[in-house]
Structure 1
Amino acid sequence: MTDTKIDMLYLSEQDVIDAGVMNIDECIDVMEEVLVLVANGQYRMAGSSANSHGAMVTFPEHSPFPEFPKDTEDRRFMAMAAYLGGRFDTAGVKWYGSNIENREKGLPRSIHLIVLNDKDTGAPFAIMSGNLESAYRTAAVPGAAARKLAPENAKSLGLIGPGAMNKSALDTFSRLRPTLDTVRINGRRRSTSEKYAEWVRENFPQFTTIEIVDSAEGAVRDSDIVSVAVTGMVGSENYPYINGDWIKPGAFLSLPANLKMDKEYTLSGKARLVADAKAIYEAWAEEYPAPCHETAFGMIGLNWQDLIGAGELESERVVNIGDVFAGKVPGREFPEQPVLFSVGGMGVEDVAWGKTVYEHAVEKGIGTKLNLWNTPKLV
C-alpha cells in the first residue's frame, strides 16, 4: 500500500530570504536557463495554446452589487499557472491580488503567493511568500539579457518609474556593470523620485551622480541602460513615451512594463527587437481584441505583435532571448544597434526560481512543515 500522507513546506518571507531568494546572481543564471528551455518549447502554461500569461479577474467601473470592488488603477486578481521541464520538472502557480491603493496602507501594490506541485500526483509540496521571488525573477530576466547585450563599460542608467521593480533592476544592473556611476530618475511625482534617490545614496555608493529628471527624455538621452517599469491604466495615452531619436547608439532598454514608441522607429530596423518569449504575445493577441497594446497590456512586445498581425512588421524581426543565449540568432545585427527587450513575465519563471528557493530551504532546514492529510477522506 502506498503512503498517502501529503506534507507541504511553508516558507514565510523571512524564510525565503534565508533560503537565498535575493541572490540575484544565481537568479540570473536560473532565468537564462529557463529562457532557453522556453525557446526550445520545454514548458506548458495556461490557455489553448499553452502560452497564456494567466487567468485574470478584474472588476467593473460600476456595479449594482454594493459589495463589489470597483475598478481602479491596477486592481486585479491573477493566477499564473505553469509547468517547466528540464531539471526543474515541476508545476506550480503564482497567485496574487493587486491594488495600487495598497501603497497608502504601507503594503506592496501586489501580494504574491507561490504554490509548487508534483508533476505526477498534482500534490502540493511547497507554499511560499512570493513578493521577493517575483521581484527578483522579474529583475533577473532583463538581467540575463543585459549580461549578454548591455554595453560592456556602461556608465549611465536611466530609470522611468522609481518603484519596487526598478529597485531590483538597479541592484541587478549595478552588479552586472560595476562601471555604472550615473543614474537618472524620472517618476510621476517628485517626492517618489527623491525617496528613490535617497535609497540609491544609502545603498549604492558606486553611483556618484544621481539626477532627478522631469521627463522620460531626460532619463533616456545619453543612458547606456534604460529601465522602464511603470504600471497603470490600459491605453497608450497612459503609457510613458520614448522617441527613438533619444536612444543612445548601442544602448540596452529593459522594458517589463507599459511603454509607447513611434511605429516608424520600430519598423525602421534601427533597434533590435528582442522578446522574453514571442509565443506569450501571440497568445495575448488571440485572447484580446486588436490592438492588444491598447486593450490588454502595455508591454512594447504587444505593440510589436499588433504590427505583426497587421502585416506591417515581419515576425522574424522579433527574436527570442533564449535563441540569443543558445547562439541560434545574433543579439545585434550591427555593433551600435540599440536593443529593446520586452518582458511580459511568465509563470515558468516563478516555478523555476520558487523550486530553486525551495531546494535551498530543504538543504538548510528552513521552513515549517504543513500537513494536508495523512489519508484522504475521499478517494
Structure 2
Amino acid sequence: MTTSSVRWLSRNDVAKMSLPLTSALDIIEGTFRDHGSGAFENPPKIGIHPGNDSFIHAMAGWLPRQRRAGLKWVAGYSSNHKVSLPNITGLLVLNDPDTGLPICVMDAAYLTAVRTAAASAITSKYLSPPNVGRIAIIGAGLQGLYHVKMLSLIYPEAEFQVVDINENAVGRVAEQTYSKATVVRVKEAEVAIRTANVIVTATSQLEDVAFQFGWVKEGGLVLPVNPRGWSQDITTETDVLLADDVEQFKTYITATGSPYRDISRIRGSIGDVIVGRVAGRVSNADRIAVFNLGLAMHDVAIGSAILDIAEQHGLGTILSY
C-alpha cells in the first residue's frame, strides 16, 4: 500500500500564514460570484445539536473553477467562555479532487472568523445605502472584531458603534483595528441600531428576541451573524430579504425550528445580486436583511489560500498515513 501524507496546520500555524484581509475580501467576492453563476457544489450543512446553545456541523464544498474541495467540521458552544474556551472551534479538511485523498487538515477557527466577516463586508459593498457613516456592531467577541476589521476596509472612515456588556472587550476591538475608522462603545443595542446605516448582530445564539426590526431606519442593512434574536418582522417588513444560499437557509429554518414563521419573501442569494440575476437595493430607502449562514465553499476557498502560503514557505507538519 502506498503511503500518503497530509499537511497539518495548527491554530498557531494558521496564524503565521498572515493571509492579507484584502485578499480574503477578493476571494470571498469571487466565490460569491461563482455561487451566482452556478460554478459550485455546496449542499446544505448537516449537524447535531447536543445542547440548546450548541451545534456541531459538517460543511462540504467544491469549487470546480479552482479545483478545490473540502469539508469543515465546526462546533459552536455559546457557553464555552465560562470554561475559558473559544465559542467556535473546528477543523477544515482539504482533499485532492483527482484522488479524493486528504492533503491538508487545519484549525478552522481563524478562517471561520475571516470568511464570515468578509462575507458581511462584500454583502455590504453591494447592498448598503450610499454614504455609510455609522455601523453598529452588536457583540465585541472574535466575530465583532473581524467585522470591524473587514468593514473598515470597505468604509475606512466610518464610525463603528460597538455594543457589549464587557467594556474591556470593546477596548480590545478598538486597539486591534488598524484603520482610520473610529470605534466607540455604545451601551444599548437599540441606540446603536437606530442610528446606523449597517447593522451587524455578532452575538452568540439567542433564544429570545433582543432586536426589533422597527429600530432599523430607512436605508438600513441588517446582517445577522447568528440568525436568531430578531423580531418576526425582519422577514415580513424588509423591502429586500436575501441569504447567502437560499436552499441552505430554508433547510436551516426547517431543521432548527427557527422563530421566523414566514420566509416566503426571500428573493435570492448574494451571488444572484452580484451577477445581476436578482435585484438588490432599488431605493436608497430600502431596508434590507441578509442571512449569511456561512458557506462551505467560502471555507474551502480561504483554507486553500492558507494552504498555498504554507506550501510556499514549508510551514506546518507533514504526517504520513
| Alignment partners' CA distance in 2, 1:209 and 1:122 | 46
Deviations 1:107-164 (A, max 9, x none): 2112211111122322000011111011100111111111222244322121222221
| Alignment partners' CA distance in 2, 1:209 and 1:320 | 30
Q: Is the 8 A contact 2:8 2:316 kept in 1?
A: yes
Counterpart of 2:315 in structure 1 is 366
Distance 1:95 1:280, change over 3 A: same
**SS class of match (2:59):** strand
Note if 1:293 corresponds to 2:258: yes
Q: Is the 8 A contact 1:276 1:320 kept in 2?
A: yes
Question: Which residues of 2 match residues 1-379 of structure 1 at below 5 A?
Answer: 4-21=2-19, 23-45=20-42, 51-54=43-46, 56-59=47-50, 71=51, 73-87=52-66, 89-180=67-158, 182-187=159-164, 190=165, 192=166, 194-204=167-177, 206-208=180-182, 210-214=184-188, 216-232=189-205, 235=207, 238-244=208-214, 246-257=215-226, 258-263=228-233, 266-268=235-237, 271-285=239-253, 288=255, 292-294=257-259, 303=260, 306-308=261-263, 313-314=264-265, 317-372=266-321
Distance 1:85 1:239, change over 3 A: farther
Following TM superposition, by how much is the alpha carbon of 1:30 offset from its aligned partner in structure 2, in angstroms?
1.1
Q: Which amino acid aligns with 1:166?
A: G
Deviations 1:273-307 (A, max 9, x none): 1211112123335x527xx313xxxxxxxx3xx42
**SS class of match (1:231):** coil
| Alignment partners' CA distance in 2, 1:203 and 1:364 | 26
| Alignment partners' CA distance in 1, 2:121 and 2:104 | 27
Q: Is the 8 A contact 1:146 1:252 kept in 2?
A: yes
Q: Is the 8 A contact 2:140 2:173 kept in 1?
A: no
Count of equivalent residues:
319
- The range that moved more, 31-40 or 135-144, is 31-40
| Alignment partners' CA distance in 1, 2:245 and 2:2 | 39
TM-score (norm 1): 0.77
**SS class of match (1:108):** coil
Computing the radius of gyration over CA atoms, which structure comes out larger, 1 or 2? 1
Q: Which amino acid aligns with 2:262?
A: L
Q: Is the 8 A contact 1:19 1:364 kept in 2?
A: no
Q: Is the 8 A contact 1:82 1:91 kept in 2?
A: yes
Following TM superposition, by how much is the alpha carbon of 1:352 offset from its aligned partner in structure 2, in angstroms?
1.2
TM-score (norm 2): 0.90
Q: Is the 8 A contact 2:195 2:217 kept in 1?
A: yes
Please, which runs of 5 or more residues in structure 1 have no aligned partner?
46-50, 60-70, 295-302, 373-379
Distance 1:283 1:266, change over 3 A: closer
Q: Is the 8 A contact 2:222 2:288 kept in 1?
A: yes
Distance 1:342 1:75, change over 3 A: closer
Give RMSD over aligned pairs.
2.3
Following TM superposition, by how much is the alpha carbon of 1:262 offset from its aligned partner in structure 2, in angstroms?
4.0
Please, which runs of 5 or more residues in structure 2 have no aligned partner?
none
Percent identity (aligned):
25
